[in-house]
Amino acid sequence: MFCPEPVFRTKIEMERMAVGNILKITADDPASEEDITRWVNRNGHQLLGIKKTDKDLEFTIKKVK
């Protein structure tokens, strides 16, 4: 997915989740690292980790509020 698609999908999924749940997102656009990290911080959630592979990035995000 290329930006802004990963951020948009993250937002939609987080809205569906209960506080305390964890979401894993996979994106293949290198710009997603900065974009999703910024979105998570701006919206008060917790970025638990980013796993980088040769092909993509996997984000683990905890819904805080």
Q: Which CATH number do you get for residue 16? A: 3.30.110.40
49 vs 7, more confident: 49
Note the pLDDT of residue 6.
84
What are the residues facing 52 on neighbouring strands? 57
pLDDT attached to residue 3: 58
pLDDT value at position 1? 47
Number of domains in the chain: 1
- Please, what sign has the CA dihedral across residues 22, 41, 39, 27? negative
* Mean pLDDT for the stretch of residues 1-16: 83
pLDDT in tens, 17-61: 999 999 999 999 889 999 999 999 999 999 999 999 999 999 999
Look up 29 and say whether it is catalytic: no
Range of the domain at 16: 5-62
In the set 1, 3, 17, 31, the catalytic residue is 3
Strand 46-52 to strand 22-27: parallel, antiparallel, or no bridges (unpaired)? unpaired
